[in-house]
Chains A and B, each alone.
Chain A
């Protein structure tokens, strides 16, 4: 009986997350007609971050905004822009946040430098230990 009541209530419940009722943008879920262009767009979309979901690329996300971003990427690629130009357009608006492609910059260089330093330290320690054991 309780189970039945719960099922009834679940059917009544409206989703708490606000969502719009408009259809997705034309090129949100539609591939470009030219397979070569679509491949370039797809490769680019996999390296762009969804602004709403944060841990997904726009290629992976079903958020309406990610769909609108895919539409931008596909229409811009179809209009002849290069993937780098489209990425630069988005980075000019959202900063490095929107890019999943790692680049060395003033704020990210430690991410690249620290592993190298650690490897160097390991090499030094191993050399000393092994040298002493011999």
Chain B
């Protein structure tokens, strides 16, 4: 019967080893979209501000790859990523946006303060488009190819080091 004792000891030791290993792993808190590789679902959003047109899925299948930024004026990291969105625009990226649960006057003020790198901004008051593409927060940035297929998802604000990654993903999508 003593071998059973050793087996149990080994099992418990193995379990604690597993705990230690899993605790040491960095936790991925992000909910990743399962829509990568899928065409963007049909939608048609009215403009979020007066000086930019709204956004529909047809605008995302016009042959030119684009960045789709999901943002809101009430979102603090969205302000933090503004300089890097400006860098992406300066590097030639066509950036379109969806404003989540936002008032036109708040969006306009946000863009006035932090800059407006967007060629189109759709107004999504019930997060419908956000839910349809598997986005679970703001800000998120999607790479959409010229056919309107979702190629890449960036979750969270765009840091300095993410700019080159997103440009590379855009090139891979055919830009």
User: Chain B's nearest CB lies how many Å from the CB of A119?
Assistant: 15
Q: Is B106 an interface residue (CB 8 A)?
A: yes
In residues 72-130 of chain B, which contact A (Cβ within 8 Å)? Answer: 72, 74-76, 100-103, 106, 125-128, 130
State whether A65 and B127 are in contact (beta carbons under 8 Å apart), knowing that A22-B102, A22-B103, A93-B133 are contacts in the complex. Answer: yes
Task: Count residues on chain B whose CB falls below 8 Å from chain A CBs.
Answer: 26
A93 in contact with B126 given A21-B103, A51-B136, A72-B131 (CB within 8 Å): no
Q: Are B31 and A22 in contact (CB under 8 A)?
A: no
The verdict on B33 contacting chain A, using a C-beta distance below 8 Å, is yes
Q: How far is the CA of A89 from the CA of B31 in the complex (A)?
A: 16
Inter-chain CA distance A128–B69, complex, in Å, is 64
- Give the residues in chain B near A71, CB-CB below 8 Å: 126
The binding surface of chain A is classed by DSSP as helix
- A94 adjacent to B136 (CB under 8 Å): yes
Report which of B35, B102, B128, B133 forms a contact with A72, defined as CB distance below 8 A.
B128
Q: Tell me, yes or no, whether A18 is within 8 Å of chain B by CB.
A: yes
Assembly CA distance A22 to B132 (angstroms): 20
Query: B102–A93 contact, CB under 8 A?
Result: no
Is there an interface contact between B132 and A20, defined as CB atoms closer than 8 Å?
no
Q: Decide: A18 and B134 in contact? CB cutoff 8 A.
A: no
Cβ of A65: which chain B residues have Cβ within 8 Å of it?
127, 136-137
Q: Which residues of A contact B (CB under 8 A)?
A: 18-22, 25-26, 51-52, 64-65, 68-69, 71-72, 90-95, 97-98, 125
Q: A19-B74, A20-B72, A95-B31 are in contact. List 10 more A-B contacts (CB 8 A).
A: A18-B72, A20-B74, A20-B100, A64-B127, A65-B137, A68-B101, A68-B131, A71-B126, A94-B134, A97-B31
Subset of 30 A-B contacts with CB under 8 Å: A18-B72, A18-B74, A18-B76, A19-B74, A20-B100, A20-B102, A21-B74, A21-B103, A21-B106, A22-B101, A22-B125, A25-B125, A25-B126, A25-B127, A26-B126, A51-B31, A64-B101, A65-B137, A69-B127, A71-B126, A72-B128, A92-B34, A92-B35, A93-B131, A93-B132, A94-B31, A94-B134, A95-B32, A97-B31, A125-B4
